Structure 1
């Protein structure tokens, strides 16, 4: 038996799953526990697209700021 991982659009999910449920010996594992919602992915991509180089800070500086705030 083989294992397949598939990424599909949210609006096609139900159709896709209903098709495979009818195949004998098929196991469907819906691993959406840590999935980032599509709207949030789009928002982040839009922010990254619109960001200017001067908006970014070095990782070392960002980690220092987080340490000051949370440690």
Structure 2
């Protein structure tokens, strides 16, 4: 037997899975625990597209600010 990992668009998922469910000895293992929902991916991409350089802050400065504000 061979193992195959496939990445497909969400709108093809049901058709793809239903096709392979009918093949003997095929198992379908979904790894959804680390999956980021499509709506969230689109939101982040939109925010990145609209962000200006002055909107970004340095990670070290952000951590320093949090430590000062919350005392850890």
**TM score, norm. by length of structure 2:** 0.82
Answer with 1 or 2: which has the greater Rg: 2
User: Are 1:10 and 2:10 an aligned pair?
Assistant: yes
Q: Equivalent residues in 2 for 1:1-71 (5 A)?
A: 1-67=1-67, 68-69=69-70, 71=72
Q: Cα distance, 1:13 vs. partner?
A: 0.9
Consecutive unaligned residues of structure 1, counting only runs of 5 or more, are none
CA distance in 2, matches of 1:3, 1:26: 10
**TM score, norm. by length of structure 1:** 0.83
Runs of 4+ in 1 over 4 A off after TM superposition: none
Consecutive unaligned residues of structure 2, counting only runs of 5 or more, are none
- What value does the CA root-mean-square deviation take over the aligned residues? 1.7
Q: Cα distance, 1:43 vs. partner?
A: 0.3
Number of aligned residue pairs: give it: 71
